[in-house]
């Protein structure tokens, strides 16, 4: 017994497949057309590129935010250390 089914892949040119039940109930799939060597459409490739570009842009932005945050923390830390040291020496000189 063989049943014709459709394989819905990412590409609009997905091929037909024929599913046949072999001995012992094992199903074997025979792919017709060129499902294995399928080319990706231009719109699909473009969509992937746009997604990759957006994710890279986001990661760069986050990296920059982190750097700015660290810079702000280091400046605050320097100011606090200066204040602490000045108080320490002011008390020590009394």
Over residues 16-41, the pLDDT tens digits come to: 444 444 454 444 454 444 455 678 99
Q: For 47-85, what is each residue's pLDDT tens digit?
A: 999 999 999 999 999 999 999 999 999 999 999 998 888
Task: Say what the pTM is.
Answer: 0.42
Cβ atoms of 3 and 19 within 8 Å: the answer is yes
Total of domains in the chain? 2
On whether residue 67 sits in a domain, the answer given is yes
Query: Are residues 56 and 88 both part of a single domain?
Result: yes
Query: Are residues 20 and 50 both part of a single domain?
Result: no
Full residue range of the structural domain in which residue 55 is found: 42-94
Query: Are residues 17 and 55 both part of a single domain?
Result: no
On whether residue 37 sits in a domain, the answer given is no
């Amino acid at each position: 017994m063989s049943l014709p089914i459709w394989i819905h892949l990412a590409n609009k040119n997905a091929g037909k497949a024929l599913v046949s039940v072999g001995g012992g109930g094992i199903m074997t799939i025979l792919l017709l057309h060129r499902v294995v060597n399928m080319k990706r459409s231009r719109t699909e490739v473009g969509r992937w590129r746009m997604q990759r570009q957006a994710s890279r842009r986001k990661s760069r932005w986050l990296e920059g935010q982190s750097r700015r945050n660290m810079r702000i923390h280091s400046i605050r830390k320097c100011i606090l250390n200066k204040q602490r040291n000045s108080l320490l020496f002011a008390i020590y000189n009394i």
